[in-house]
Chains A and B, each alone.
Chain A
Amino acid sequence: MKAKHQRLVLIVIALVALIGASLLAVYALRNQASFFYVPKQMVESPPDVGQAVRLGGMVQAGTLKTLPDGVTVEFIVGDGEQTVPVRFAGILPDLFVEGSGVVAEGRLSADGTFVADNLLAKHDENYVPRELEEMTEHQRKQVVAETIEGTAAKAPGAP
Chain B
Amino acid sequence: MHGFANPKRFLSIANWLTPLLFVSGIVLSAVALWWGLFNVPPDRLMGDTVRILFIHVPAAWLGMGGWTAIAISSLVFLVWRHPLASLAARAAAVPGAVFTAVCLATGSIWGRPTWGTWWVWDGRLTSMLVLLFLYFGYIALAQSVAREGGSSRIPAIFGLVGAVNIPIINRSVVWWNSLHQPPSITMGKSAIDPAFLVPLAIAVLGFSLLFGGIVLARMRALLADIQADARLRRKAMGDEALA
Contacts and interface: CB of A to CB of B under 8 A. Distances in A.
Interface of A: 4, 7-8, 11, 15, 18-19, 22, 26, 29-30, 33-38, 56, 93-95, 97, 100, 103, 118-133, 143, 147, 150-151, 154-155
A120 B117 contact: yes
Nearest to A7: B79
Contacts of A26: 168, 175
B53 A22 contact: no
A11 B156 CA distance: 11
Contacts of A56: 177, 179
A30 B175 contact: yes
30 contacts: A4-B79, A4-B80, A11-B160, A15-B160, A22-B168, A26-B168, A26-B175, A29-B176, A33-B123, A34-B123, A35-B120, A93-B115, A93-B116, A94-B114, A95-B45, A95-B46, A95-B115, A100-B45, A120-B120, A122-B181, A125-B183, A125-B191, A126-B191, A127-B184, A129-B40, A129-B42, A130-B44, A131-B41, A133-B44, A143-B191
B41 A129 contact: yes
Contacts of A97: 45
Given A4-B81, A35-B179, 15 more contacts: A35-B176, A36-B177, A94-B114, A120-B117, A121-B114, A121-B115, A122-B115, A124-B181, A126-B192, A127-B43, A128-B44, A130-B43, A131-B41, A133-B44, A150-B182
A26 B175 CA distance: 9
Given A120-B115, A120-B179, A11 B193 contact: no
Given A100-B45, A120-B117, A8 B79 contact: yes
Interface in B131-184: 160-161, 164, 168, 174-179, 181-184
Contacts of A132: 44, 193, 195
Contacts of B114: 93-95, 121, 123
A154 to B, nearest CB: 8
A129 B193 CA distance: 7
Nearest to B183: A125
Q: Closest 4 interchain pairs by CB?
A: A93-B116, A129-B41, A35-B122, A125-B184
B109 interface: no
Contacts of A29: 176
A99 B47 CA distance: 18
B177 A129 contact: no
A33 B164 contact: no
Contacts of A7: 78-79
Contacts of B161: 18
A128 B43 contact: yes
A103 B43 contact: no
B75 A11 contact: yes
A35 B184 contact: no
B196 interface: yes
B50 interface: yes
Nearest to B173: A125
B113 interface: yes
> Which of A15, A35, A150: most chain B CB closer than 10 A?
A35
B71 to A, nearest CB: 10
A147 B182 contact: yes
B178 A35 contact: yes
Nearest to B80: A4
Nearest to A27: B175
A94 B179 contact: no
Nearest to B174: A154
Contacts of B183: 125
Given A11-B75, A120-B117, A127-B193, A38 B177 contact: yes
A129 B196 contact: yes
Contacts of B177: 34-38, 56, 151, 155
